[in-house]
Amino acid sequence: MRGRKGSLWGKKKKKQASGKAGRVPGGSPPRAAARGAAKALDAIDYSQFYDKVNSRGSVDDLVLLENVSNEGIVEVLRTRCEKGDMYTSIGPVLIAVNPYKQLSMGGKGIYTSGVRDYYHRKGGGDFMAPHIYRVAAEAYKSLQADSRDQCVIVTGESGAGKTEAAKQLMHFVTTVGTSSETQKATMEGVQRHLLESNPILEAFGNAQTIRNDNSSRFGKYMELQFTFKGMLRGGKVTNYLLEKSRVTGQAPGERCFHVMHYLLEGTSARERSDYRLLPAK
Residue 163 in marked binding region: yes
3-state secondary structure of 234: strand
Q: How far is CA 250 from the centre of its chain?
A: 31
Does 158 carry a binding-site annotation? yes
The amino acid present at 178, given as its one-letter code, is: T
What does the alpha-carbon distance between residue 189 and residue 194 come to, in Å, rounded to a whole number? 9
- The reply, when asked if residue 161 is annotated as ligand binding, is yes
| Residue 138 assigned to a binding site | no
Residue 94 corresponds to which amino acid? Answer: L
Cβ atoms 76, 59 nearer than 8 A = yes
Distance CA(17)–CA(69), nearest Å, equals 63
- Cα–chain-centroid distance for residue 63? 25
156 annotated as belonging to a binding site for a ligand: yes
Pairing of strands 206-207, 108-109: unpaired
Q: Which residues are annotated as a binding site?
A: 156-163
Annotated binding site for ATP: 156-163
